[in-house]
Structures are given as C-alpha cells and as structure tokens.
C-alpha cells in the first residue's frame, strides 16, 4: 500500500518539477514584463499538477522518451533468473499434484532436492519498498517538525501582551474596516520573527515587536499594518498551509522546495501590489520606502505557517513596487500558453509500455522486435505491464507446474470440477492470498479443514468469467458433505515440480486485456523449447481473470 502511494507521489513530483522549471524559466526571462498577479496566478498550474494523479495523456509527454523500443532475448537470458519452483507446498513427485488422502492426521509434505532447482538473486541498493519507507519516515519527521514549531509559537503567543496603544489600534481598526474585515484582529507583542507577520488561520493575529512600534513613525506603522491586514484579507496563511503539506509530501525534491519559496515571494509582491492599488501616487512612493526600510533594518527569521516580510529579494521587490505599467493581454496569453505547453509535457505519455515481441524460440541470440501499441492501457493493466517479463513468466510457470495441461480452455465453463478445485488449492496458497490463508477453514477440535462450497465458488469466480463447479463430481477423498455444503478433509492439495519459462510475447488486445505467450524449456540452459502456452488475461481494479489458456 505504502509502496504504491510512494510510486504515485514520485511520478507526481517528477511531473511537478517539469511544470516548476517551465514557470521558473518564464519568470526569469519575463518577470519585468509580467504583472505581480500574473506571476502569482501562474503557480496554480503547479498545484494542479501535483494534486491530480489522473490526467489526460499527451503526445508530447516527456515520459515517452523512457519507453523501451528494442530489447534482445540475449539480454534477458543474461539476467539473474532461475527455474520456477513451487510457490506453495512441494511433494516428492515432480510435475504432478498430490491429493491428501483421508485418514492421515496432517498432510505430509516433503521437499525434493533433486527435482527442484533453486536459484536466488539479490540486487543491492534501494528498491521501491525501501525508498517508500524512507519517504514515509522523512515525511513524518517533517510533519512533526512543522507541528512542533507551530504549537510552540502558539503557546508562546498566548503568553505575550496584546497591543493597547491607542494610535496603533486606531490605525488597525481604520484599515480593517476599509478592507471589510469583520473579525477582530489583535496585535501581539513579540520579536520571535523580528519582522511583522500574520500568524493563524481561523483566529489570525499580527505579530510585531514592541520596540518596532516604538521606533517607527505613524506612516510606517500605517503601511506595515495595511500590508499585514491585506495578508489576512487574502487568506495567505491558507496558502502557506497548503505549501507546507506539499513540502512534507515532496520533501525529497529540492526543486519543488525552491519553487515553493518563490511562490511565497510572489505572494508578498502581490500583497504589495494589492496595497499600492488603494494608494495615490504620493503614498505609493512612501509605501515603498517604508517596506524596504523595514526589511533592510530588521533581520527576519523563518517561522513555518506565517505570512509576512522576508528579506532575501529586496531588489526585485523594489522593482515590482515601482513597476506599475500595464501588461498587454497578448503577452499574458503567450506566457500562459508556453507554460501550459510545458505542463502538457508532464502528462502521461500517449503510448503504452506494453510490447509485442516476435522471436525464434530455439535460440537465445534471437532479437525481439517491439512495437508500441496504440491502445492506452487502463491503470490495472498498466500495473500488470510494469511487472518485469521474467517475473510474469515465473508466475504463469507456477500455474503451469501446479495444474499442467488440465487447465487448458477457451471457455471457462468447460473446466472440470476436479481441475477447478486444484486451481482453488493453488491460488489460495499462492502470493495472492498468502500461505496461511487456509487456516481460516481449519477446525482445531476435529483436526480437519471445513471448506464452504460458497468460498470455493467465490474465489473461482474471481479468476474466471464463469464456472460450472459441481462438488458432487469430486473424488470421495475430498470429503464433500452435501448437507453442510462443505468439503471436509485433512488439508488442501499440495504441488511440486519445476518449470523453465521465458516470456515470448506480450500483446495488448484491449485496454484491459493482455495476451502473453510463454515458452517452456526442457532445462535451465534454455536451449530447447518443449512447448508454448498462450494466456489471455483481463485485469480490473480488484483482480484479474483468465479468459483462456491454450497450448501449442
């Protein structure tokens, strides 16, 4: 679960980085010609891309350059792969399944060293599971840090004095009524961040040092309070909260952190622009002096979750305050179009990674020509296509080893009840369910398994379109009890044997259906093919179903 979430986050983070780079480039080239509002609003594209995992495919997606176009069977053969061994119980009878006979207390299963060839491989370094765990720990640590800082600030402010200076409160109330802010806003004396700032979302307050108020002129205080109240009016602390959440999720991506820093800068500049729009020409100059002098004379410290002054972009701020020329609609449209074009490059590719290979099975030096399907796979099918070829071949090889030629069909209604029960035993002991899944049917008092027929049919219907399972046609050793509608026996069937599979072809035949051809070799040299099987599988959000299995 965590691994799948991390994969989605990683894809969104990479896609968001593309959009962020495009926006940063636009700002670098045209920031003197772009209005403050345009520079701020354009960041919405980044938030949209980081928030939406499902977006339409794009023919210009940058992800299309990673799609494989050609591979060779020789490269596949050089990978660390081993023969398929039973993923469930193994018995001392290769290439066969063994029925558990009534009368024995427990199923006796032994391993056959001579019939099973185990090959283990280990790839050092990070895998998705480890990376997901590291990501989760990092996100939790940063979340706790942000919560700790904000809680500490809130506790500290609750112990500070509230400003009762008549001149200051009169200025505050005057501009608050001008902005039509109905909620009361308190000024709290504190120098925690040195520079004035707004703290809080539901009950915001303005943090100002008492020394700053005493040393500042009435005009400076007026402009500072106008700036801070504009933050409150525009609810900029909600934006800061959103940014904090994205920083937590994307803590591993420095480019996005840099982009979020620039968003906060643009938020300050737009706040300046909003205040200036209410002033006359003479006051605009005074406002600029007041803001710049405040930034230059006081050192700011970062407080997560606050909106207010910052001193690392003074030059740009001066230029933006003084640059009030009208921006053409045409230029704005062009800038937006270019950024959106870059955003489209971060959408999923309009092609699929599934490939169709044609090969000569009798040689490992053959080339496998891949053609990209024009069908866009659904998400469940795409997840199946992301499984490495050998892993898919091993999974199908396990099925072939356990059921052999008894499970060959084009219509699932034709599968015999005996074969269906064998499949049920195989699948409930496979990785789909886990080796202890059958414990739910075990009766400790009797030392027997009571398997409801309903459970068997439900599981079979998950893997086949429709089946004709008739428990009365099963061998008597399976212990069918018609009255209780259960199979009562000593345990599930055991399986053993070995297979040497290689994936031959992989073809999409619809947006949710895959046709996979697997060659089965006679030994682990992979030189001579014994036979080939073709599996047609349909994938859904909850499961997959075998539509047909044929042999040639």
pLDDT for 323-367, tens place per residue? 555 555 555 565 556 556 555 555 554 444 444 433 343 443 333
Measured CA distances, 411 to 423, 448, 464 (Å): 16, 34, 9
255 and 401 in a common domain: no
| Mean pLDDT of the region 480-495 | 90
Residue 112 placed within a domain: yes
Continuous segment of H or E residues that includes residue 297: helix 281-297
Question: CB of 313 within 8 A of CB of 331?
Answer: no
Residue 308: pLDDT band (50, 70, 90) is: low
Q: How far apart are CA 56 and CA 369, in angstroms?
A: 28
Q: Do 426 and 547 belong together in one domain?
A: yes
Q: Is 260:267 a contact under the CB 8 Å cutoff?
A: no
Q: Residue 69: its pLDDT value, please?
A: 36
Mark whether 209 and 302 lie in a shared domain.
Answer: yes
- The tokens describing 443, both together, are 């009766």
108 and 160 share a domain?
no
Comparing 216 with 300, which gets the higher pLDDT? 216
Structural domains counted in the chain: 2
Which of 313, 336, 368 is the last residue in one of the domains? 313
92 and 232 belong to one structural domain: no
Both 406 and 300 in one domain: the answer is no
Kindly state whether residue 336 falls inside one of the protein's structural domains: no
Give the C-alpha separation, 377 to 387, whole Å.
Answer: 14
CATH code for position 273:
3.30.2010.10
298 and 397 fall within a common domain:
no
Would 14 be classed as within a structural domain?
A: no
Are 216 and 248 within one domain? yes
| Average pLDDT across the chain, whole number | 76
Q: Which residues pair with 372 in a beta bridge?
A: 355
Bridge partners of 513, per DSSP, are: 510, 538
Give the pLDDT mean for 436-445. 89
Greatest Cα pair distance, the chain, in angstroms, is 102
Instruction: Tell me whether residue 44 is in a domain.
Output: no
Q: Over the stretch 187-232, which tens digit does the pLDDT of each residue have?
A: 888 876 667 888 888 888 888 888 888 888 888 888 888 888 999 8
Reduced DSSP (H G I as helix, E B as strand, rest coil) percent helix, strand, coil of the chain, to 5: 45, 15, 35
338 burial level (CB within 10 Å; 0-12, 13-18, 19+): middle
Q: Are 490 and 83 within 8 A, CB to CB? A: no
266 falls within a domain: yes
Could you please report the per-residue DSSP string of 158-200?
Answer: HTSPBP--HHHHHHHHHHHHHTT--S--EEEE--SSSS-EEE-
Cβ–Cβ contacts within 10 Å for residue 137, how many? 10
Domain for residue 148, yes or no?
Answer: yes
Tell me, yes or no, whether 112 and 164 share the same domain: no
Residue 149 is assigned to a structural domain of this protein: yes
Higher pLDDT, 110 or 421: 421
Same domain? For 283 and 153 the reply is: yes
Residues 305 and 167 in one domain: yes
Q: How far apart are CA 295 and CA 520, in angstroms?
A: 74
Res. 307: pLDDT tops 90:
no
Q: Which domain holds residue 524?
A: 82-120+352-358+377-551
Q: Which residue has the tokens 């428990």?
A: 471
Q: Are residues 161 and 196 in the same domain?
A: yes
- Give the pLDDT band (50/70/90) at residue 102: very low
Instruction: Calculate the alpha carbon distances from 116 to 164, 390, 435, 506 in Å.
Output: 85, 18, 19, 28
- Domain stops at, among 283, 298, 313: 313
Instruction: Compute how many other C-beta atoms are within 10 angstroms of the C-beta atom of residue 119.
Output: 10
Answer yes or no: is 10 within a domain. no
Last residue of a domain, one of 291, 313, 335: 313
């Amino acid at each position: 679960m965590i691994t799948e979430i991390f994969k989605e986050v990683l894809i969104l983070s990479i896609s968001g980085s593309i959009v962020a780079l495009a926006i940063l480039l636009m700002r670098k080239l045209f920031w003197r010609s772009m209005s403050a509002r345009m520079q701020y609003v354009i960041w919405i594209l980044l938030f949209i891309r980081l928030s939406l995992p499902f977006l339409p495919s794009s023919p210009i997606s940058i992800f299309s350059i990673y799609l494989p176009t050609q591979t060779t069977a020789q490269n596949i053969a050089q990978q660390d792969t081993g023969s398929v061994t039973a993923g469930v119980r193994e018995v001392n009878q290769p290439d066969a399944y063994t029925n558990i006979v009534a009368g024995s207390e427990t199923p006796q299963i032994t391993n056959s060293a001579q019939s099973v060839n185990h090959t283990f491989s280990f790839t050092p370094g990070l895998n998705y599971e480890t990376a997901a765990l590291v990501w989760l720990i990092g996100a939790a640590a940063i979340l706790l840090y942000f919560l700790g800082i904000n809680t500490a600030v809130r506790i500290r402010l609750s112990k500070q004095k509230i400003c009762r200076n008549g001149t200051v409160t009169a200025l505050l109330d005057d501009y608050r009524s001008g902005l039509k802010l109905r909620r009361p806003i308190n000024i709290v004396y504190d120098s925690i961040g040195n520079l004035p700032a707004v703290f809080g979302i539901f009950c915001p307050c303005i943090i100002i040092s008492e020394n700053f108020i005493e040393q500042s002129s009435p005009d400076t205080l007026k402009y500072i309070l106008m700036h801070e109240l504009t933050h409150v009016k525009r609810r900029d602390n909600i934006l800061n909260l959103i940014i904090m959440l994205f920083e937590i999720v994307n803590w591993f991506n420095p480019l996005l952190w840099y982009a979020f820093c620039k968003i906060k800068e643009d938020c300050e500049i737009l706040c300046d622009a909003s205040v200036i729009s209410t002033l006359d020409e003479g006051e605009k100059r005074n406002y600029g002096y007041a803001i710049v002098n405040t930034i230059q004379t006081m050192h700011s410290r970062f407080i997560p979750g606050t909106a207010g002054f910052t001193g690392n972009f003074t030059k740009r701020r001066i230029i933006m305050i003084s640059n009030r020329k009208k921006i053409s609609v045409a230029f704005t449209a062009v800038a937006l179009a270019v950024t959106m074009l870059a955003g489209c490059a971060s959408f999923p590719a309009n092609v699929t990674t599934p490939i169709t290979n044609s090969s000569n099975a009798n040689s490992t030096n053959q080339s496998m020509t891949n053609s990209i399907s024009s069908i866009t796979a659904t998400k469940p099918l795409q997840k199946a296509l992301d499984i490495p070829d050998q892993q898919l071949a091993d999974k199908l090889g396990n099925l072939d080893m356990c059921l052999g030629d008894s499970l060959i069909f084009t219509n699932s209604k034709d599968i015999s009840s005996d074969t269906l029960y064998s499949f049920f035993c195989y699948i409930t002991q496979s990785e789909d369910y886990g080796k202890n899944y059958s414990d739910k049917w075990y009766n400790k008092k009797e030392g027997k398994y009571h398997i409801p027929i309903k459970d068997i049919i439900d599981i079979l219907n998950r893997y086949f379109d429709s089946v004709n399972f008739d428990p009365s046609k099963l061998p008597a050793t399976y212990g069918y009890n018609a009255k209780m509608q259960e199979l009562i026996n000593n345990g599930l069937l055991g399986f053993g044997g070995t297979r040497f599979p290689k994936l031959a072809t992989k073809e999409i035949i619809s947006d949710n259906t895959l046709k996979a051809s697997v060659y089965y070799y006679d030994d682990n040299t992979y030189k001579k093919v014994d036979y080939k099987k073709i599996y047609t599988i349909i994938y859904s959000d909850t499961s997959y179903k075998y539509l047909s299995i044929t042999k040639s």
